[in-house]
């Protein structure tokens, strides 16, 4: 009996001495910074500041490209608006609208995602899955982030867009990050019309200057 107890004690002791594997520690992935803080590797100076020079709207809208006509803003939320001549075969003009909400308006990423939600692809796919995004830094420090989506424009929930779905549409929309906060420039219309003005739109964005009040 003594030998049996001794053998059992030895077995318990041996099991207790088996080294246990350390518990594996799972590291959490770092949180992604909003695009307004660091879009595509380019670090803006201060995209959410509410003091300092903003977009010089007078200069920006003073000389519009050929085929663009300045119009009266359809909403008090719009700082500026223009109509773009339609392409042959299209049933509507293109429209340019400029917005700025001092102290608010959201980050660049939040607005890009909101614009993606206003469109679906040609086959009904989410706008985010077909959106193309690029950025450029102007010599005066303004960071311009542009999203390009072609498909169906969905009815507006703000009362400032179409009331019904608009197939074969295209949206070119940009965030201009300035010391006075973000400005938003949005170009929408039938895809052939927008295609005929796309290069003009890019050149128009490059004319943006600082100097306006916040």
39-63 tens-digit pLDDT: 443 434 434 455 689 999 999 999 9
| Cβ neighbours of residue 34 closer than 8 Å, sequence gap 6 or more | 107, 108, 109, 110
Q: Which of 47-51, 69-73, 75-79, 165-169 has the lowest mean pLDDT?
A: 47-51
Interatomic CA distance for residues 119 and 115, integer angstroms: 7
Query: How would residue 194 be classed by pLDDT, with cut points 50, 70 and 90?
Result: very high
pLDDT at residue 13, as a whole number:
45
92 closest CA partner among 159, 164, 147: 164
122-171 tens-digit pLDDT: 999 999 999 999 999 999 999 999 999 999 999 977 656 678 999 999 99
pLDDT at residue 51, as a whole number:
67
Beta partners for 178?
181
Interatomic CA distance for residues 126 and 132, integer angstroms: 13
Q: 130 and 123 in contact (C-beta within 8 Å)? A: no
* pLDDT greater than 60 at residue 213: no
DSSP 126: B
* pLDDT greater than 80 at residue 103: no
* pLDDT greater than 80 at residue 187: yes
Residues of the chain with pLDDT > 90, as a percent, come to: 68
Interatomic CA distance for residues 39 and 138, integer angstroms: 14
* pLDDT greater than 60 at residue 180: yes
Buried b (16+ CB within 10 A) or exposed e, 54-66: bbbbeebbeebee
CATH number at 48-212: 3.40.1000.10
11-44 tens-digit pLDDT: 544 444 444 444 433 333 222 233 333 344 343 4
pLDDT at residue 62, as a whole number:
94
Q: Mean pLDDT, to the nearest integer, of 88-97?
A: 97
Interatomic CA distance for residues 192 and 11, integer angstroms: 83
Say how many CA atoms lie within 13 Å of 68 toward its Cβ. Answer: 22
pLDDT at residue 105, as a whole number:
78
pLDDT at residue 46, as a whole number:
39
Relative to beta strand 119-120, strand 94-100 is unpaired
Write out the E strands in the chain. 54-55, 68-70, 78-84, 94-100, 119-120, 132-137, 143-153, 166-178, 181-190, 210-212
Q: 120 and 131 in contact (C-beta within 8 Å)? A: no
């Amino acid at each position: 009996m003594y030998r049996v107890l001794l053998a059992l004690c030895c077995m318990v002791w041996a099991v207790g001495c088996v080294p246990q594997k350390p518990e594996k520690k799972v590291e959490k992935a770092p949180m992604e910074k909003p695009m307004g803080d660091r879009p595509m590797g380019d670090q803006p100076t201060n995209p959410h500041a509410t003091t300092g020079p903003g977009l010089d709207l007078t200069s920006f809208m003073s000389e519009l490209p050929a085929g663009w006509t300045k119009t009266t803003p359809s909403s008090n939320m719009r700082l500026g608006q223009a109509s773009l001549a339609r392409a042959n075969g299209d049933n509507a003009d293109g429209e340019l609208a400029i917005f700025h909400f001092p102290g608010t308006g959201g980050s660049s990423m939040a607005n890009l995602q909101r614009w993606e939600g206003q469109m679906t692809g040609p086959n009904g796919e989410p706008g985010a899955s077909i959106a193309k995004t690029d950025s450029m830094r102007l010599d005066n420090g303004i960071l311009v982030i542009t999203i390009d989506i072609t498909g169906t424009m969905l009815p507006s929930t703000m009362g400032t867009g179409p009331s019904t779905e608009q197939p074969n549409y295209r949206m070119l929309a940009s965030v201009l990050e300035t010391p006075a906060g973000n400005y938003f420039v949005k170009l929408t219309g039938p895809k052939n019309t927008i295609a005929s003005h796309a290069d003009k739109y890019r050149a128009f964005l490059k004319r943006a200057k600082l100097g306006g009040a916040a």
